[in-house]
Amino acid sequence: SKNRLVGSLPAELGLLQSLQALDVSGNRLTGSLPRDLGNCSALRFLNAQQNQLQGPIPPQLGALQRLEILVLDNNRLSGSLPPSLANCSKLQEIWLTSNDVEGGIPQEVGAMQELRVFFVERNRL
């Protein structure tokens, strides 16, 4: 985090199947979240807050069965909250404050038994 990184997150991150934590917060990253991150089957922690990421939250993140914490605050993410996130059965925290996410909160989120933190304020939900 906070390494003055610029540019976009490469799709090749999805090749890192043993990756357990990815923290690229507080940089100047642009572009979208790569859908190939859904291939990082060991990922438990993903923090990309305080960047300039845009576009939808990839539904492929729902394949991250070990994901416990998802932090995407203060970006320009848009589209709807993907119902597939409910497939992340170990997900305990979702931080999406200050984005442009819109639509309804999927019913599936209510069935997430491990979810303790769900911050989505300052969106268009």
Dump pLDDT digits (tens) for 113-123.
Answer: 999 999 999 99
Dump pLDDT digits (tens) for 13-61.
Answer: 999 999 999 999 999 999 999 999 999 999 999 999 999 999 999 999 9
DSSP conformational letter for 106: P
Domain-by-domain residue ranges, the chain?
Answer: 11-119
Dump pLDDT digits (tens) for 72-87.
Answer: 999 999 999 999 999 9
Q: How far apart are CA 66 and CA 57, in angstroms?
A: 18
Query: What CATH number matches the domain at 11-119, 3.40.50.300, 3.40.30.10, 3.80.10.10, 2.60.40.60?
Result: 3.80.10.10
pLDDT at 110 over 90: no
Residue with tokens 């357990």: 20
Assigned token pair, 94: 């979702």
What residues are paired with 102 via a beta bridge?
124
Residue with tokens 């070990």: 66
